[in-house]
Amino acid sequence: MRLMEWVERFHVALGSLSGIATIVMIALVVPDVILRKFFATTIPGASETNILLLVLMIYLGLAGAQARGAHFRVTILTDRLPDGARRALEVVMLSAAVAGLSLLAVLTTQSAMTSISRGETSFGVIAFPLWPGRVAVAVGLWLLCLQLVLDVIRALVGAPRRTSREEGVSG
Query: What is the band of 169 on the pLDDT scale with cuts at 50, 70, 90?
Result: very low
Determine the pLDDT at residue 161: 66
> Does residue 125 have a pLDDT over 60?
yes
Instruction: Note whether 110 and 59 are within 8 A (CB).
Output: no
Rg (CA), the chain: 20
Tens digit of each residue's pLDDT (9 = 90 or more) over 63-116: 888 888 878 878 888 889 898 898 999 999 999 999 999 999 999 999 999 999
DSSP 161: P
Tens digit of each residue's pLDDT (9 = 90 or more) over 11-59: 888 887 878 888 999 999 999 999 999 999 999 888 889 999 999 999 9
CA distance 2 to 150: 12
pTM: 0.84
